[in-house]
Amino acid sequence: MLHSRIFTFNPLGTNCVVLWTGGQHACTVVDPGMSSQDGMDQLQSFFQSHGLTPDAILLTHGHFDHFWGVAKLLAVYDVPVYLHPLDIDTMNNVTGSAHATSSFSFLQHDFKTVDIADGDVITTAGTAWKVIHTPGHSRGGVCYYSEENSLLLSGDTLFAGSIGRTDLYGGDYDDLMTSIKERLLNLPGETDVIPGHGQPTSIAREGMYNPFLEPFNEPLQDVE
């Protein structure tokens, strides 16, 4: 059975998810956005209390609030960091993606990443995750889907009652709507969704009640 624990870190309230299977000591860390040593201490205390050791870091995209704590983890754990290559530029463009000042340039983002592509299957801590490329919030945004556990890690593509913003570096509204409607809403309705911010939800709930996914919110069509 897959277990999950959500930590909410940094001033933007980013969800960092720890996932592990009962009886195993390895765990997966998704979007470690801790901006302080206190956040790192919380994670390590949780690892120790549950007998867990990270074996991989999954990044849903390259915005700073989702990778803020990667360097802290890598200083302790030698694990691969998975990221779509289209978002390496997003990660390197820290100030642009943050709509912030140069004060964010201190964020360490020179760590090595492992390229992933749409359709790849990554096995971490005993769980297979299918990579679903969902551009729109950023060019290289992805979701991670475990069919066996009926769980989707949606990053900032899809939220409970909302969708990812598209006014940041690399964002595109039409691409985002296409990603959600063609790549996510066709998943089984009972699929649980853990987003990059806010409360968990499900595919069925968002398909029925998300106001941003009403029929009139269609991507623009090319006019010949």
Instruction: Give yes or no for residue 220 having a pLDDT over 80.
Output: no
The predicted pLDDT at position 23 comes to 84
The predicted pLDDT at position 105 comes to 45
Distance, in Å, from the CA atom of 29 to the CA atom of 6, rounded to the nearest integer, reads 10
The pTM of the whole model exceeds 0.95: no
The predicted pLDDT at position 100 comes to 47
The predicted pLDDT at position 109 comes to 77
- Straight-line distance from the first to the last Cα atom of the chain, in angstroms, rounded to the nearest whole number: 52
Domain-located, residue 43: yes
Domain-located, residue 220: no
Question: How confident is the model over 113-162, as pLDDT tens digits?
Answer: 999 999 999 999 999 999 999 999 999 999 999 999 999 999 999 999 99
Of the candidates 11, 9, 171, 8, the residue with the CA atom closest to the CA atom of residue 96: 171
Structure confidence at residue 222 as a pLDDT band (50, 70, 90):
low
Domain-located, residue 218: no
The predicted pLDDT at position 106 comes to 56
**Number of compact structural domains in the chain:** 1
- 172 Cβ partners below 8 Å, 6+ apart? 135, 136, 166
- Listed in order, strand segments (DSSP E) in the chain are 2-9, 14-21, 26-30, 53-58, 81-83, 114-115, 121-124, 127-133, 142-146, 151-155, 158-159, 162-163, 192-195, 201-202
Q: Which residue has the higher pLDDT, 10 or 106?
A: 10
- 176 Cβ partners below 8 Å, 6+ apart? 134, 135, 136, 137, 157, 163, 164, 166
Distance, in Å, from the CA atom of 74 to the CA atom of 77, rounded to the nearest integer, reads 5
Domain-located, residue 204: yes
Q: Which two tokens mark 3?
A: 């277990």
Contact 195, 15 (CB under 8 A): yes
Question: How confident is the model over 64-111, as pLDDT tens digits?
Answer: 999 999 999 999 999 999 999 999 999 988 655 544 444 444 577 789
Domain-located, residue 217: no
The predicted pLDDT at position 221 comes to 58
- 98: domain CATH number is 3.60.15.10
The predicted pLDDT at position 219 comes to 53
Cβ count near 59 (within 10 Å)? 28
Domain-located, residue 152: yes
Domain-located, residue 222: no
The predicted pLDDT at position 216 comes to 53
Domain-located, residue 141: yes
Span 169-184, average pLDDT: 96
Question: How confident is the model over 36-58, as pLDDT tens digits?
Answer: 999 999 999 999 999 999 999 99
Got the DSSP string for 135-146? TTSSTT-EEEEE
Domain assignment of residue 84, given as a range? 2-212
